[in-house]
Amino acid sequence: MPTTTSDVVTWLCEAAPRLEAADTFASAHLSLVDFVGCSISGSDHPAARVVTDICGISGEVPALGHSTTRLHPASAAYVHALQAHAFELDDGDWETWGHLGAPTIAAGLSAGWRSNATVGELTDAVATALILGMSLGRRVNPGHYQQGFCTTGTIGALTAAAAAARLLRLDEAATAHALDFAVAQAAGVRQFAVDGSASCLIIPANAARVGYEAAVLAGAGLAGGLEAFDGQLGFLRVLGGVSASDLRLPAYAEHRPSQIYYKPHSCCGNALGPLHGFVEGWQRLDHAPLRRIAFELPREVARNVNHPSPDSELERHLSLQLAVAMYLARGAIAARDLIEVSITDELEQAMAMVHVTVVAAEDVQELRAGEMGFLIRSAADGREIRCPVGEVGPAMGETEIDEKFRSLVGSSMGEHGATRLRAMLGDWSSPVRDVLLTGRPPLPTSWP
């Protein structure tokens, strides 16, 4: 039978990933650790400083990465999501083609502070919310994304509300109202992929704040609707452009950990598979000097990563040309290498070899599941290899996420601070409040 909003709400209130789906819970926990590291690292982004100063309302929630700043929970959700996405370091998923972790976990941290939840409860709420988001993504995509919507903002507002509602322990009626309020405010279009706008950072921030406030308002008794997803003018019909009759109850089996991807360094998620394919292919050529590197990718992917002369900071993060050039120059790319990179003559020459075009329709039929396009590597000695490239980059498990976390956090908090915070995140009984209190760098020695 088709699932109604009421059925989804019941599931949201009763699901227990920690007890019923170990892989799903573990995947959500990796996302939590990765988020905290990315948000602390992103606190030094110029946009984070501007937003904290102008939009941050003072309050009680410690701001990750800031030594003394405390914010209202709604402002904290906004700032934390923006910081996590600031350098394109945060995770994403292939069901929504978005970054649900940023708004969902940011809203969850603020709700967890308010309700004095534990890390285990936060992880459970995040896992449940991400399952919902992926279910919606499967239903409305690829049309929703191809129409120009940014799923981080549209679906992310709903997952943020779902996570916050669980952590605030709302009943089914209030949870339905929270989702209704979130749908009413869900927003985001991908014009930033064309012009490099900072709206890319505002979208997850807005979704986090919208989701948190939706849950708080519903918990305070503000009455909303009960058909956020399947209503006549609900999410699926209006934003998704699909029939609500095909909504299905989320299932743990559909939330595969492999569908969430983690980034070893700052880049567009769409670039991970092509870049990984290039690295492996160049090894097959024994790292021979190259004269041309050509990627044939789906139209939306090419739009996101094709920045041969990146002008803005966002374009530098998204540019597949720059990522390939950095690898050619250094042999590897560390987590923050693409953040403040200076484009030298050497990098410009390497970037000029990299071409991105849209894969031909007749060639798409040659691709197998998990492949997105083709890569052609032409060596200076005349050898040429054309092969498919996959959708995903190198696998990142707990070990790789730990290394990334320490590299992102250690520079501001020191090795001891990073170790202490990571241990706290690994203890299900740790209070969320303690995580936020610990995720702040020490005061500078010159502090009065």
Give the least confident one: 21-35, 105-119, 267-281, 347-361.
267-281
Cα(161)–Cα(180) distance, integer angstroms:
9
CATH number among 3.40.1710.10, 1.10.4100.10, 2.60.120.680, 3.40.640.10, domain 5-261:
1.10.4100.10
414-440 burial, b at 16+ Cβ within 10 Å, e below that, comes to: eeebbeebbebbeeeebbbbebbebbb
Tokens encoding 270: 């769409």
What is the model's pLDDT at position 255? 60
Segment 299-313 shows an average pLDDT of: 90
pTM: 0.94
Give the least confident one: 168-177, 190-199, 238-247.
238-247
What is the model's pLDDT at position 149? 97
The CB density around residue 68, as the number of other CB atoms within 10 Å, is 10
Arithmetic mean of pLDDT over the chain = 91
Cα(358)–Cα(297) distance, integer angstroms:
5
Segment 26-38 shows an average pLDDT of: 96
Q: Is the pLDDT of residue 208 over 70?
A: yes
Where in the chain are the domains? 5-261, 269-390
What is the model's pLDDT at position 216? 99
Residue among 410, 263, 403, 265 at smallest CA distance from 334: 265
What is the model's pLDDT at position 41? 96
Domains 5-261 and 269-390 equal at CATH topology level = no
For 269-390, give the CATH class.
alpha beta
**Three-state SS at 220:** coil
20, with CB counted inside 10 A (0-12, 13-18, 19+), is: exposed
What is the model's pLDDT at position 253? 61
What is the model's pLDDT at position 446? 55
Going through 259-305 in order, the beta strands assigned E by DSSP cover 260-261, 290-297
Model pLDDT for residues 326-361, shown as the tens digit of each residue: 999 888 888 888 887 889 999 999 999 999 999 998
Segment 371-395 shows an average pLDDT of: 88
What is the model's pLDDT at position 384? 87
Quick check: 164 and 104 in contact, CB under 8 A?
Answer: no
Give the least confident one: 103-107, 139-143, 316-320, 444-448.
444-448
What is the model's pLDDT at position 1? 40
Residue among 73, 42, 44, 81 at smallest CA distance from 57: 73
Segment 276-285 shows an average pLDDT of: 84
What is the model's pLDDT at position 438? 96
Please state, for a pLDDT cut of 90, what percent of the chain lies above it: 68
What is the model's pLDDT at position 448? 52
Q: Is the pLDDT of residue 296 over 80?
A: yes
Q: Is the pLDDT of residue 388 over 50?
A: yes
What is the model's pLDDT at position 20? 86
Residue among 175, 165, 178, 187 at smallest CA distance from 238: 187
Give the least confident one: 82-86, 144-148, 304-308, 311-315.
311-315
Q: Is the pLDDT of residue 214 over 70?
A: yes
Model pLDDT for residues 91-100, shown as the tens digit of each residue: 999 888 899 9
Q: Is the pLDDT of residue 78 over 60?
A: yes
12 falls in which pLDDT band (50, 70, 90)?
A: very high
The CB density around residue 366, as the number of other CB atoms within 10 Å, is 11
Which residues neighbour 367 within 8 Å (Cβ) at sequence distance 6 or greater? 373, 388
